[in-house]
Amino acid sequence: MAETLDLKTLEGIDKLEFLARQVVEGFITGLHKSPYHGFSVEFAEHRLYNTGESTRNIDWKLFARSDRLYVKRFEEETNLRCQLVLDTSASMYFPERSLSKMRFSVYACAALMNLFKRQRDAVGLTLFDEQVNLSLRARGHAAHHKLLLAQLESVLQQSQPRRSTRAVQALHEVADTAPPRSLIILFSDMFEPGASSEDLYAALGHLRYNKHEVLLFHVVDQPLELQLEYENRPHLFIDMESGEEVRLNPAGIQEAYQKRASDFRKELMLRCRQYRIDFIEADANLGFAQVLMPYLLKRARLV
The per-residue pLDDT for range 17-70, each reduced to its tens digit, is 777 766 776 666 667 777 766 655 566 678 888 888 888 889 999 889 998 898
Model confidence at 276, in pLDDT bands (50, 70, 90)? very high
Confidence of residue 3 (pLDDT cuts 50, 70, 90): low
CATH 3.40.50.410 positions along the chain are 7-20+79-302
Question: With helix as H, strand as E and coil as C, how does the chain read?
Answer: CCCCCCHHHHCCHHHCCCCCCCCCCCCCEEEEEEEEEEEEEEEEEEEECCCCCCCCCECHHHHHHHCCCEEEEEEEEECCEEEEEEECCHHHHCCCCCCCHHHHHHHHHHHHHHHHHHCCCEEEEEEECCCEEEEEEEECCHHHHHHHHHHHHHHHHCCCCCCCCCHHHHHHHHHHHCCCCCEEEEEECCCCCCCCHHHHHHHHHHHHHCCCEEEEEEEECHHHHHCCCCCCCCEEEECCCCCCEEEECHHHCHHHHHHHHHHHHHHHHHHHHHCCCEEEEEEHHHCHHHHHHHHHHHHHHHC
Q: What's the pLDDT tens digit per position in 167-195?
A: 999 999 999 999 888 999 999 999 887 77
pTM score, whole prediction? 0.84
| pLDDT at position 150 over 80 | yes
Q: Candidates 3.40.50.2300, 3.40.50.410, 3.40.50.11140, 3.40.50.970; correct CATH number of 7-20+79-302?
A: 3.40.50.410
Residue 1 has what pLDDT?
42
